[in-house]
Amino acid sequence: MNELLLIVFSPLIAGVIAWVIRIRGVREGIGILGALIPLLGLIKAYPSLDHGIKATITVGGFEIGFLLSHMSWVFSMIAVVVGFSATLGMVTTARDNYEWLFALMSLTGVLGVFLAQDLVTFFISWEIMTFASFMMVFKFNRQASLKYFLLSIIGAYAMLIAIGVIYAKTGSFAFSEISAFFRKDAMMAMLGGQPAFSRFDTALVYLLFLVAFGVKAGMFPLHVWAPDAYSETDQSYTAMFSGVLSKAGVYGFILLYILMYGKLMVSLGQFRGAPLFGYIIAFLGGLTIMVGGVLAALQEDIRKLFAYSSISQLGYILVGLGIGTSLGIEAAIYHAISHALFKGLFFLIVATLIYRTGKTEFKDFGGLAEKMPYTFAMAFIAILSLAGIPPLVGFASKWLIFEAVISQNLPILGGMVFFGSAIGFVYLIRFTYAVWFGQRPSDIENTKDAPLPLAIAMGILGALNVIFGIAPGIVARELNKLFNSQVIGGNIWELDLGFGRYNALLVTIWLVIGLLIAAILYFLGASVRKVPVTDTYQSGNPVTMDYNLTIRRNFFLPLKEAVEFWLRISFDKLYRDVWKSIEDFAETARNYIYNGNVQAYAWYLAIILLILAIMGV
Amino acid sequence: MISAYYFGAISLILIGLYAVLVKKNILKILIGLSIMETGVNLLLISIGYVSGRSAPILSEGIGPLQAVDPIPQALVLTAIVIGVATTAMALSVAIILYEKYGTLNIEEIRRLRG
């Protein structure tokens, strides 16, 4: 068996075996093995990347082809590393065979998406991924899964139509041939010839792909499924769902660039010095950052907070992609890696918290840092990484995106990106304080630290957050190979863009020195006094319950009041209204036409016969 | 100029259709159906008619070339039987409806049925 096929299909096979074997212990082992084989396979395949590894199977007359290139290797590595960690977490949190089957099936789907070499394979893998993740949500919450499914179906149909249009004109499904065709077509249009794809066709294909990939990436205003779907499933699986499956949408956008960048540029023109089509993606990405960030700050449920935060962070990736310079795309892929690392870590932490305490709302937490020191350390890494504090991977990638935006002179996008970073602090400070510090409610007094599988899974992701943070050049070097040029310069400790540089090692050293000084000062003579939480907030005055803004409850009520007008414009509600009115319309039409009157039916028959007679049938 | 047979047959169909579409009494609707059926039968027969030929019964001096088209006649024979059967069944349904609702007006029956 070809090693590429082994990489793609071993999770699925392991999932099926784990589903059939219902013995506890054995099924976990098989599940982990199924996630481990692709990881080892990809690492083993790394030296032979330069030639590209191919594999094809024929199913029902269709060639299903996989190709491992540098680009797909990077994305597949994200998938298997986070997927493996999530699988480890599932050893603790998964409740039955069903979850093992579909979690591993979605891993196969996403690997298929990343490794596909033609549109048919891409689409089939895409659907396997959607189906498996839908089944995971379906088990926990039907309402949420239905919303996810409906939007995914809209996206899938959009993609299918786009693929149909492309195939009708180019006669090929293979990426390489389509890409060559579009390049020739763009040349033709530039020289004033008659291109195969008119302006309208190009815009149509672009819009359809925008919908298809936008749904999966959680792009505003198609993000409404994500908060529900991410929060209403096994939280270990969500680490993979939010960390990896959303990257399929990102990969789709990159694919759009690979296939038809020149053509889109020529056909759709420019806006503010950036290609228009890219600017649309970037602008929607910017809106995604802001909407996701503000909504994350207003949540009272940890799972919801991180779901919205995940949407917000996806916005950065879209901004980077939309800018479309080689720096922007590298920054976006970098952020895709770091987002998968820290968001996977976050959801594993949430899984641990829920597993140990059984609670999900901020008001039930508090003071867990003493009881769960290891999980707290991991949470601290994840918080610093998401907020973009220097020696962690989140800073390196966000910094690259900022630089990419600034270097292209895009002030509006710049404002959105900076706003998103600020709001990131706003919601993270709440998670930090409300869960880990302050007074501990008496019913979670006896909470134990993370169980071993979850601890190992968190350890893997936490260590990678730190390693890639201190040595950002490891990732940058890999990304430079995608463009075959030195887009991000510097060595493994330092990123050098020519107009700005960031030395992670230096920052780390200074940070450690600073912490040492602080520690010395603390132990030498700081006078420490324990203060009850309520005292610091209330200043000794009694506060009425309806305006009790402690960090655990309604902390951002003033923010909510400030943005109240904007909150009323909710796309979630809009979609629900549209759905409702379609239902109402159909119901009325049905009652009116099928009224149970035999004579009315006779009239319909007579009218149809008359129409047919007039048409001369 | 359209043949009088066609004109008559199609007029019968339309009259029957009119009764089915507009009349409210079940018996009148059934009468309309019967009229329509007669019209259809007449139309079929008149399609098979060839001017100046005799009935398609092979006998002295009448070969296949001197007879009208026999197929519509066979068709109509079947259609008449079917028509009679459906009419009989519809009439029995009408009787049951009258026993149950005490009226033959279809709107009244619909209202009573709820």
Q: Tokens 């003033």 belong to which residue?
A: A558
Looking at this protein, which amino acid is placed at residue B99?
E
Fill in the DSSP letter of residue A441.
Answer: P
Of all residues in chain B, the percent with pLDDT exceeding 70 is 98
**Does residue A534 register a pLDDT over 60?**
no
CA distances (Å), origin B73, targets A538, B42, B69: 103, 10, 8
Is B88 or A391 the better-scoring residue by pLDDT?
Answer: B88
The larger pLDDT score, comparing residue A591 to residue B12, is at: B12
Q: How many CB atoms lie within 10 A of CB A539?
A: 8
Average pLDDT, chain B: 88
Q: Is the pLDDT of residue A541 over 80?
A: no
- Tell me, what's the ipTM? 0.73
- How far is CA A313 from each of CA A158, A212, A316, A589, B42, rounded to the nearest angstrom? 25, 19, 5, 44, 79
> How high is the pLDDT of residue A117?
86
pLDDT given for residue B15 in this prediction: 93
Q: Which of chain B's residues have a Cβ under 8 Å away from the Cβ of A597?
A: 106, 110
B21 with A603: Cβ contact below 8 A: yes
Q: Looking at the predicted structure, is the pLDDT value of residue A611 above 90?
A: yes
- pLDDT confidence of residue A585: 92
Q: Measure A580 CA to nearest chain B CA, in Å.
A: 28
Contact A66, A438 (CB under 8 A): no
Question: A279 pLDDT exceeds 70?
Answer: yes
Structure confidence at residue A544 (pLDDT): 61
Here the tokens at position A533 are: 């939480």
For the record, the structure tokens of A565 come out as: 């007008």
How buried is A533 (Cβ within 10 angstroms: 0-12 exposed, 13-18 middle, 19+ buried)?
A: middle
Taking 90 as the threshold, does the pLDDT of residue B95 lie above it?
Answer: yes
B32 CB contacts (<8 Å, ≥6 apart)?
Answer: B15, B16, B17, B18, B19, B20, B23
Mean pLDDT, rounded, for A128-138: 89
Q: Is B58 on the interface with A (CB under 8 A)?
A: no
Distance from CA of B3 to the nearest CA of A (A): 19
3-state secondary structure of B29: helix
Tell whether the model's pLDDT for residue A520 goes beyond 80: yes
Please compute Rg for chain B using Cα positions. 19
pLDDT at A9 over 90: no
Q: How far is B71 from chain A (nearest CA, A)?
A: 24
β-strand A270-271 against A274-275: which pairing, if any? antiparallel
For residue A424, what pLDDT is reported?
86
For residue A540, name the pLDDT band (cuts at 50, 70, 90). Answer: low
The stretch B17-30 carries a mean pLDDT of 91
- A423-455 tens-digit pLDDT: 888 888 888 888 888 777 778 778 888 888 888
Question: For the residues of A247-296, what is the DSSP string, one character each?
Answer: HHHHHHHHHHHHHHHHHHHHHH-EETTEEHHHHHHHHHHHHHHHHHHHHH
To the nearest whole Å, the CA of B77 is away from the closest chain A CA by 26
pLDDT value at residue A546: 60
Please tell me the distance from the alpha carbon of residue A232 to that of residue A256, in angstroms, as a whole number: 31
Rounded Cα–Cα distance for residues A134 and A241 (Å): 10
B12 band by pLDDT with thresholds 50, 70 and 90: very high
- Give the whole-angstrom CA distance, residue B41 versus residue B101: 34
Task: Answer yes or no: do B106 and A596 touch at CB < 8 A.
Answer: no
List beta partners, residue A151: none
- pLDDT level of residue A1 (50, 70, 90 thresholds): low
Residue A496 scores a pLDDT above 90: no
* Whether residue A532 has pLDDT greater than 90: no
pLDDT single digits (tens) A232-250: 888 888 888 888 888 888 8
Among all chains, which residue has been given the structure tokens 């968190």? Answer: A458
Is the pLDDT at A60 greater than 80, yes or no? no
In sign, the C-alpha dihedral spanning B32, B33, B36, B41 is: negative
Q: Which residue of B has its CA nearest to A596?
A: B110
Give the per-residue pLDDT at A54. Answer: 80
Q: B110 at the A interface (CB within 8 A)?
A: yes
SS3 at position A192: coil
Does B21 contact A at CB distance below 8 Å? yes
- Is residue B15 within 8 angstroms of chain A, CB to CB? no
Measured N-to-C along each axis, helices A70-93 and A97-115 cross at an angle, to the nearest 10 degrees, of 170
Of chain A, the end-to-end C-alpha distance in Å amounts to 59
Query: Above 90 in pLDDT, residue B89?
Result: yes
* CA A106 – CA A83 distance, rounded (Å): 10
| Rounded Cα–Cα distance for residues A90 and A109 (Å) | 18
Phi-psi region at A298: left, alpha or beta (left = phi > 0; alpha = psi -120 to 50): alpha
| Contact residues for A394 (Cβ-Cβ < 8 A; gap 6+) | A338, A342, A384, A385, A386, A387, A388, A465, A469
Residue A533 confidence (pLDDT): 55
Tokens 């549109």 found at: A119
Asked if A96 and A53 touch (Cβ cutoff 8 Å), the reply is no
Per-residue confidence band for B90, with pLDDT thresholds at 50, 70 and 90: very high
Are A223 and A295 contacting, i.e. CB atoms less than 8 angstroms apart?
no
Check CB contact of B106 with chain A, cutoff 8 Å: yes
Cα separation, A37 vs A10, whole angstroms: 7
Q: Among A37-41, A95-99, A564-568, B86-90, which range has the highest average pLDDT?
A: B86-90
Question: Residue A344 and residue A348: Cα distance in Å, rounded?
Answer: 6
Residue B11 has pLDDT above 90, yes or no: yes
Report the C-alpha gap between A243 and A148 in whole angstroms.
Answer: 17
Hey, is the C-beta of B111 within 8 angstroms of any chain A C-beta? no
Residue A43 to residues A4, A73, A169, A179, A593, Cα–Cα distance (Å): 12, 9, 38, 28, 63
pLDDT mean over A269-274: 72
What φ, ψ does residue A517 adopt, rounded to 5°?
Answer: -60, -45
How many contacts, defined by CB atoms under 8 Å, are there between A and B? 14
Rounded to two decimals, what is the model's pTM? Answer: 0.81
Q: Which two tokens stand for residue A572?
A: 């979630």
Please answer yes or no on whether A598 and B106 come within 8 Å at the CB atom.
yes
Closest CA to A428 of A305, A511, A314: A305
Cβ(A144)–Cβ(A152) below 8 Å: no
